[in-house]
Structure 1
Amino acid sequence: MKSIVIGVIGADVHAVGNRIIEYTLTREGYNVVNVGVLSSQEDFINAAIETSARLILVSSLYGHGELDCRGMRDKCNEAGLDDVLLYVGGNIVVGKQDFKEVEKRFKDMGFNRVYPPGITIDDVIDTIKLDLGDAS
């Protein structure tokens, strides 16, 4: 069973969406390691190392995801997680910004997939399956 690490980064305490993501991914047959809310980059990375996770899905709803996620790819690489997939989604920046520009900034930071506010885990599940080689 493939492991996916999920959680809410930084000083964010939005737990409901995180639980929905956990439920959906578990239902789809993944081993979900939920580091919870108020999580640091290291919490995600350590959980990925411990479970040999192939994907880290970072949620942020309070607008400071860009600051909280900066340098995460480098830390993953330093920890030997060069091939781990990094997903991020939610309300990841402050204010109304052009999402294409936001997406580019996160991809430049090493995130593989970047999702805008309002996207649901059901909208993303096919991409997860594809990226993890589980698409039928």
Structure 2
Amino acid sequence: MTFAAASPAGLDIVVSTMASDAHTWNLVFLQMFLEERGHRVTNLGACVPDDRLVEHCRQAAPDLIVLSSVNGHGTLDGLRVAPQLRARPELSDTPMVIGGKLGITEEDGVQAGRSLRAAGFDEVFTGPDSIERFTAYLARWSAAVPA
């Protein structure tokens, strides 16, 4: 993973659900959370088809891709879309994370972490401490990016 140079105004971050997830409040929360920390956010919305997500990220060249799931199918969607994003040379090193309700049970989400990392995600956030871990990840990541 390499880090793009951040502008003084923060990072360019894409937040999105995946094709099967129609939930939007999680994306609104993430967008506000990231914007309050000085980042620029493109929110692609709900039910984003794989090809639209890949094409937008390819063209936008974001500093970070954040995928969120609420419907319990995040693992299945993530395992499908991560290799598509990583297959694009311009996205192969872009930091990419996934979080939310990734399986039907909390245990499913926890166990999916290994598979999702192997598929191409840099980090997986699930469970009751996920926002705290995401906050710490974002702080570490932002500090590593040259201004």
User: TM range, normalised to the smaller chain?
Assistant: 0.7 to 0.9
- When normalised by structure 2's length, the TM-score is 0.79
* Inter-CA distance 47–75: structure 2 relative to 1 (3 Å threshold): same
Are the aligned partners of 1:44 and 1:56 in contact in 2 as well (CA < 8 Å)? no
SS of the counterpart of 1:18?
A: helix
Are the aligned partners of 2:102 and 2:108 in contact in 1 as well (CA < 8 Å)? no
- When normalised by structure 1's length, the TM-score is 0.84
Are the aligned partners of 2:18 and 2:50 in contact in 1 as well (CA < 8 Å)? yes
In the aligned structure 1, how far is the partner of 2:109 from the partner of 2:87? Answer: 29
Query: Which of 60, 82, 97 does residue 69 from structure 2 map onto?
Result: 60
In the aligned structure 2, how far is the partner of 1:48 from the partner of 1:27? Answer: 22
Residue 111 in 1 paired to residue 116 in 2?
A: no
In the aligned structure 2, how far is the partner of 1:92 from the partner of 1:79? Answer: 24
Supply the RMSD in Å over aligned alpha carbons.
2.2
Which runs of 5 or more structure 2 residues have no equivalent in the other structure?
A: 1-6
1:6 maps to which residue? 15
How far residue 51 of structure 1 moved from its aligned partner, in angstroms, is: 2.0
In the aligned structure 2, how far is the partner of 1:96 from the partner of 1:28? Answer: 28
Amino acid at match of 1:47: H
Residue 92 in 1 paired to residue 93 in 2?
A: no
**Higher helix content, 1 or 2:** 2
Stretch moving more, 11-20 or 42-51: 42-51
SS of the counterpart of 1:84?
A: coil
How far residue 77 of structure 1 moved from its aligned partner, in angstroms, is: 2.8
In the aligned structure 2, how far is the partner of 1:41 from the partner of 1:118? Answer: 28
Query: Which of 92, 102, 108 does residue 82 from structure 1 map onto?
Result: 92
How far residue 121 of structure 1 moved from its aligned partner, in angstroms, is: 4.2
In the aligned structure 2, how far is the partner of 1:54 from the partner of 1:84? Answer: 6
* Inter-CA distance 77–123: structure 2 relative to 1 (3 Å threshold): closer
Are the aligned partners of 1:10 and 1:39 in contact in 2 as well (CA < 8 Å)? yes
* Inter-CA distance 65–6: structure 2 relative to 1 (3 Å threshold): same
* Inter-CA distance 123–61: structure 2 relative to 1 (3 Å threshold): same
Map Cα deviations across residues 13-64 of structure 1 (whole Å, 9 max, x no partner). 2111210110111121111011001112333322222222021111111111
2:35 maps to which residue? 26
2:46 maps to which residue? 37
